[in-house]
Amino acid sequence: MLLKELSQTIESALNKQVEMEAASSQYYLAMASWAEVQGYNGIAQFLYRHSDEERVHMLKLLKFINERGGHGLVPALQQPTVKFKNIHAIFEHVYSHELLVSKEINNLVDICLSEKDYSTHNFMQWYVTEQIEEERMARNILDKLKLIGEDKGGLYIFDRDLSTLDTGDKH
């Protein structure tokens, strides 16, 4: 048995982030399924990849908790929204959700500093950097969608191009 290296406060906060990452994965999975049913196969591929990445983020946290002597908990999840107004609305959701995740990660980093848990603080810097990239990507996608407006040809090209967009996550 490993010695307890995480405070209960840090362990609880990390497990809360595990739940956030798992819920994010489900959220993007629901968006991907909706997009695929609507005929946006490129957008669906992008969102499926994004869902997978969020699951990897969750696993990375879970393993860290366990390696530090805590117990990473697999969360129960609520079913996410399964219907969306349109592609613009989906990416507005993506952007606002990524802002929320960033806020939660920053809160977790603040807890690490107040608890003087510099090892966990160091580990969390990967997530801080990742969130900067996630927000940038979502903002860039929204900018492109604003340029396209409701132009069907533009949406067709956007859908095609998004299928090959690198989400930037190298785990």
Confidence of residue 26 (pLDDT cuts 50, 70, 90): very high
pLDDT at 120 over 90: yes
Domain-located, residue 89: yes
Task: Band the pLDDT of 1: cuts 50, 70, 90.
Answer: very low
**170 lies in a domain?**
no
pLDDT tens-digit map of 53-84: 999 999 999 999 999 999 999 999 899 999 99
Question: Cα 81–44–159 angle (5° rounding)?
Answer: 120
Task: Tell me the residue range of the domain where 127 lies.
Answer: 8-162
CATH number for position 27: 1.20.1260.10
Give the model's pLDDT for residue 3. 52
- Residues annotated within the binding site are 21, 54, 57, 98, 131
Q: Is residue 19 part of a domain?
A: yes
Contact 125, 113 (CB under 8 A): no
In a domain, 103, yes or no: yes
Identify whether 121 is part of a domain. yes
Q: What is the percentage of the chain residues whose pLDDT exceeds 90?
A: 89
What single-letter DSSP state applies at residue 38? Answer: T
Q: Residue 171 falls within a domain, yes or no?
A: no
Q: Per the domain annotation, does 12 fall within a domain? A: yes
User: How many domains are contained in the chain?
Assistant: 1
- List binding-site positions for Fe cation: 21, 54, 57, 98, 131
Q: Is residue 3 part of a domain?
A: no
Residue 48 reports pLDDT greater than 90: yes
What pLDDT score was predicted for residue 106? 98
Report d(CA 47, CA 55) in Å as an integer.
12
Q: Quick one: 134 exposed, middle or buried, by C-beta within 10 A (0-12, 13-18, 19+)?
A: buried
